[in-house]
Amino acid sequence: MIDVNRAYVFPGQGSQSVGMGAQLFESSQPAREIFKEADDSLGFPLSRLIFEGPAIELQNTTNSQPAIMTMSIAALRTWQEMYGSQAGEAKAVAGHSLGEYTSLVAAGVIEFADAMRLVRLRGELMNQAAINRPGAMAAILGLNEFAFGQICDETGVELANINTDDQIVISGAKIAVARAMDLASARGATKTIPLAVSGAFHSSLMMEAAGDLADAVQSLHFKQPKVPVIGNCNSTPLTTADEIRLELINGLCRCVQWRDSVRHLVNAGVTQFVEFGSGGVLTGLIKRIDRGVKATTLSDTASMRELAEEVT
């Protein structure tokens, strides 16, 4: 069942849900170890919050980011434990925003416990930056990048995520985002969706957080990736520790180029994407970016057995 043309991908904030990973915890020793390590590294029972809620506390950026990473790595470790060498190695890994940190763990660049503390800090810094410089985000469907460029120039909003050809997320001051949504609707957008986030992530309003995050990133030891890690900012492989550090720091303020990241992988020969985590958001986006590739989400042992049966 080895597929040398497979990429592993990891979701970002918004994919969290109360109860995610509970089945893995009950059925997989590697998953239990990951949840315990998460609790130990943060010094509080994150796993209890993941399994029991409340949802509003899990949605808090400082909690959701380490929670999503924990779920993804628990799923990855379970997949590897269930099928061992049969699971094969990924051709490359990639993650959406927060998921980029998870991809670094998967590629052996950074230890899980260190990554947990880093994303917890990242969430805290993003929250504080949002308090100091309030902002908003919105998803816009049905407009091209040229139209978005004009709207950005007119309103001052910034492109935060280019997810597919027709799904782009904007970020900026609240008044500017509201104005941009109105303009987008007037110019033919099929849908405008305000996002339930606490701040203007992936915009210049996060500069304060990026500066504070830099000290933590510079202090950590990064190993060479075991497989290529596709960066969010430029949609190209991160090959050195210095490139990775710069990517993580810049990532708070720059646009997530998810569409181009997927296209880079497809052009490199990837034919199958496996998303580790809950929600299946990236799986849905990948299928819209390129209908010729396969994409599936692994969030429990049943989905893992199903994938194993398909590729054997």
Catalytic residues: 97, 202
Distance, CA of 125 to CA of 119 (rounded, Å): 10
Amino acid identity of residue 47, one-letter, is S
Distance, CA of 209 to CA of 204 (rounded, Å): 10
Q: Distance from CA of residue 247 to its chain's centroid?
A: 14
**What is the SS3 assignment for 124?**
helix
- CA distances to 153, 234, 261, 287 from 264, rounded to whole Å, are 28, 10, 5, 15
Three-state SS string over 74-93 comes to HHHHHHHHHHHHHHCCCCEE
- CA distances to 73, 140, 159 from 19, rounded to whole Å, are 16, 30, 32
Encoded tokens for 40:
């130990």
**What is the SS3 assignment for 7?**
strand
Q: Say if residue 211 is exposed, middle or buried (CB neighbours under 10 Å; 0-12, 13-18, 19+).
A: middle
- CA distances to 83, 89, 170, 275, 308 from 92, rounded to whole Å, are 19, 9, 28, 12, 19
- CA distances to 151, 153, 247, 254 from 146, rounded to whole Å, are 9, 11, 26, 18
Element (DSSP H or E) covering residue 127: helix 112-132
Encoded tokens for 17:
């849900």
Q: Are 216 and 137 in contact (CB under 8 A)?
A: no
